[in-house]
């Protein structure tokens, strides 16, 4: 099975995006790149369009939340080069209270649902998204249930009597 030349990939990314490539590492079996939010869309487009790297398949796009970090919100994207069976993970973080990233729906229409899920669970906004609205949760839900500060139990339920459960 052919493998991706990681040194070439790292050097090409740093050549094109300079100091906006914040770190690179090999995490278990996947090359991981952390990029600044400002160039995330451009990096992903480069990895997709470059004939050698050919990361043409969007596998995953999801939100991250690390509340104790100076940059508590992150977007994690995984791409796949099917012919070479190579994968890459791209992460980007922001300190904004209302995290906003550029949409990837112009590159992959399937990003639509993944971005809607990140919005629905983490409150991420995607500039340029064609239809950003909740996809799983009810429209009346207040807050973002995958954020760490979200209460484990629904504080609005009236049908629970905690005395029955020893609380």
Domain ranges of the chain: 6-152
| Angle between helical axes of 6-17 and 40-49 (0-180°, round to 10) | 130
Say yes or no to pLDDT of 56 above 70: yes
pLDDT at 5: 82
Per-residue pLDDT, averaged over 111-124, amounts to 97
Per-residue pLDDT, averaged over 156-164, amounts to 67
63 within 8 A of 147, measured Cβ to Cβ? no
More confident residue, 67 or 1: 67
- Three-class secondary structure of residue 67 per DSSP: coil
Of 2-6, 46-50, 104-108, the range with the lowest mean pLDDT is 2-6
59: closest CA among 85, 79, 74, 84?
79
Say yes or no to pLDDT of 78 above 50: yes
119 within 8 A of 126, measured Cβ to Cβ? yes
Q: Where are the alpha helices (DSSP H) in the chain?
A: 6-17, 40-49, 111-122
Q: Return the sign of the alpha-carbon dihedral for residues 40, 44, 45, 46.
A: positive
pLDDT at 27: 87
pTM to 2 decimal places: 0.87
Say yes or no to pLDDT of 149 above 70: yes
Fold entry, domain 6-152: Beta Polymerase; domain 2 (3.30.460)
Token pair 């906003």 in the structure block, residue: 100
pLDDT at 6: 84
Phi and psi angles of residue 29, each rounded to the nearest 5 degrees, phi first: -120, 15
């Amino acid at each position: 099975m052919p493998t991706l030349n990681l040194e070439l990939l790292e050097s090409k990314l740093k050549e094109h995006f300079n100091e906006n490539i914040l770190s690179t590492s090999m995490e278990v079996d996947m090359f991981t790149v952390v990029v600044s939010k400002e160039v995330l869309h451009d990096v992903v487009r480069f990895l997709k369009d470059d004939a050698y790297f050919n990361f043409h398949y969007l596998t995953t796009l999801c939100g991250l939340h690390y509340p104790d970090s100076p940059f508590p919100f992150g977007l994690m994207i995984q791409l796949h080069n099917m012919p070479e069976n190579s994968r890459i993970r791209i992460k980007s973080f922001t300190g904004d209270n209302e995290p906003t990233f550029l949409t990837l729906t112009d590159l992959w229409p399937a990003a639509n649902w993944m971005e809607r899920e990140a919005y629905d669970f983490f409150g991420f906004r995607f500039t340029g998204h064609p239809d950003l609205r909740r996809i799983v949760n009810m429209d009346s839900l207040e807050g973002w249930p995958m954020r760490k500060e979200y209460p484990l139990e629904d504080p609005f339920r009236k049908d629970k009597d905690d005395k029955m459960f020893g609380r």
